[in-house]
Amino acid sequence: MKTVAVIFGGRSAEHDVSIISALTSVIKPLELTGQYRVEAIYIAKDGSWYWDDRLKDIALYQSGIEDFCQKAPKVHLLFEDGLTLVKSSQFAGRKMYRHIDVAFPVMHGTYGEDGSLMGLLEMAGVPYVGCGVSAAAVAMDKVLCKQVTGAQNIPTAPWVWFLASELERNSKPILAEIAALKYPLFVKPARLGSSIGITRVTDSAQLMNALEVAAHFDDKIIVEQAVANLFEVTVPIMGNDQPVAALVEQPLTKPDDFFDFDAKYLQGGKKGSSAKTGSQGYSNIPADLPKALYEQAQSLALQVYRAVGCSGTARVDLLIDTQTEVVYFNEVNPMPGSLYAHNWRQKGISGHQLVTELIRLAFERHAARQRLETTFQTNFLKQF
């Protein structure tokens, strides 16, 4: 039986969302398969790591997690023949060891979805689920991601970027660049998610304030032209070098709620009955789009996945101007909340098939990398 370490929580604004994703969409279906030994690894908000079966129970996080973290021993990682978890058993100084066959990071946001955790797993030489280091890092930075996709001629709404420190030193050229865009504009911190620090501005009088808000969250800022006649969709994708798209999904949160974390994650029960719940509240699956536009969205999402170098899974968000019928790329989420299992289910892939396939893809990528030559014989050292 293979041992899977499900890693969740983390030093991110999306810490709590990650707990739900891990417990309901990964640990539970993995255990239901009966094929894996599942180890829960929780990273607390202060960055400490814990490994304990009690961490599989949602009730612990509803009350008592602080107490647990104070008393429980922290986990140590041993980089030996892959990755081994070590913790004190609190019993006569004995230690517990568990060798990990595959890691399943279910982290959203900073220090997890951004490539840093993937880097650690890569160094340990352990197979892991989801995007690799570079795809995760590129996806996490809205500027970098638009530069990478733009180089492949993937359309985005016109945008400019700059550092808050540059704006402070000499605002004139930057404001001139922004003035070349057409209002309304979106002002965003480059490297945050969940709509945190984002403002939609309708005229130049609101601009400085929005820039200040964004600068509060990140030194790197992106200002984008708003896509008109907006129809927003998201496309979950799975695979390594032969990715497949799930259904094109239309999130149904109101446009004025775009900045509202609660609207995305907490209000899933208040919308019309024809819509289905997802981790972003309610949504239409499949999105109600003319066939050609639907297919265009699906194919653009796959192009983005390839351009960014995603593997395992990711979710590509697109903004469609329904009048001009242009599909614009907005962003990629390397570890979509709850894996977008609700969408895959509609494509006929059950929750446990989804996690099983993601683990298979992790091994497949790992094996492909193992086959690559990483050493090179030289007599370089002998010259000294």
Ligand X SMILES: Nc1ncnc2c1ncn2[C@@H]1O[C@H](COP(=O)(O)OP(=O)(O)O)[C@@H](O)[C@H]1O
Among 12, 199, 250, 330, indicate the residue that binds ligand X (CB under 6 A): 330
Among 14, 114, 218, 224, indicate the residue that binds ligand X (CB under 6 A): 224
Q: Check residue 55 for interaction with ligand X (CB under 6 A).
A: no
Site for ligand X in 331-350 (CB under 6 A): 331
In the complex with ligand X, the residue whose CB is nearer, 253 or 296, is 253
Q: Show the site string, 143-182: x = touches ligand X by CB under 6 A, - = not.
A: --------------x-------------------------
Q: Check residue 322 for interaction with ligand X (CB under 6 A).
A: no
Q: Show the site string, 237-266: x = touches ligand X by CB under 6 A, - = not.
A: ---------------------x--------
How far is it, in rounded angstroms, from Cα 288 to Cα 180?
A: 34
In the complex with ligand X, the residue whose CB is nearer, 337 or 351, is 337
Q: Check residue 227 for interaction with ligand X (CB under 6 A).
A: yes
6, 42 Cβ separation under 8 angstroms: no
Q: Check residue 86 for interaction with ligand X (CB under 6 A).
A: no
Q: Check residue 229 for interaction with ligand X (CB under 6 A).
A: no
How far is it, in rounded angstroms, from Cα 43 to Cα 55?
A: 10
Q: Check residue 199 for interaction with ligand X (CB under 6 A).
A: no
138-175 burial, b at 16+ Cβ within 10 Å, e below that, comes to bbbbbbbbbebbeeeebebbebbbbebeebeeeeeebe
How far is it, in rounded angstroms, from Cα 146 to Cα 367?
A: 30
User: Residue 190 class from Cβ within 10 Å (0-12 exposed, 13-18 middle, 19+ buried)?
Assistant: buried
Return phi, psi of residue 27, to 5°: -60, -50
In the complex with ligand X, the residue whose CB is nearer, 68 or 258, is 258
Q: Check residue 113 for interaction with ligand X (CB under 6 A).
A: no
In the complex with ligand X, the residue whose CB is nearer, 29 or 337, is 337
Return phi, psi of residue 275, to 5°: -85, 160
List, in order, residues 6 or more apart from 110 with CB less than 8 Å away.
Answer: 10, 11, 12, 13, 140, 191, 192
Q: Check residue 194 for interaction with ligand X (CB under 6 A).
A: yes
Q: Check residue 326 for interaction with ligand X (CB under 6 A).
A: no
Among 20, 226, 275, 349, indicate the residue that binds ligand X (CB under 6 A): 226
Instruction: Extract the tokens encoding 195.
Output: 């709509």
How far is it, in rounded angstroms, from Cα 45 to Cα 229?
A: 40
Q: Check residue 278 for interaction with ligand X (CB under 6 A).
A: no
Instruction: Extract the tokens encoding 3.
Output: 């041992």
The stretch among 207-215, 221-229, 340-348, 352-360 that binds ligand X (CB under 6 A) is 221-229
The stretch among 65-73, 118-126, 209-217, 225-233 that binds ligand X (CB under 6 A) is 225-233
Which residues bind to ligand X, rule: CB under 6 A?
157, 186, 188, 193-195, 198, 224, 226-227, 230, 232, 258, 317, 319, 330-331
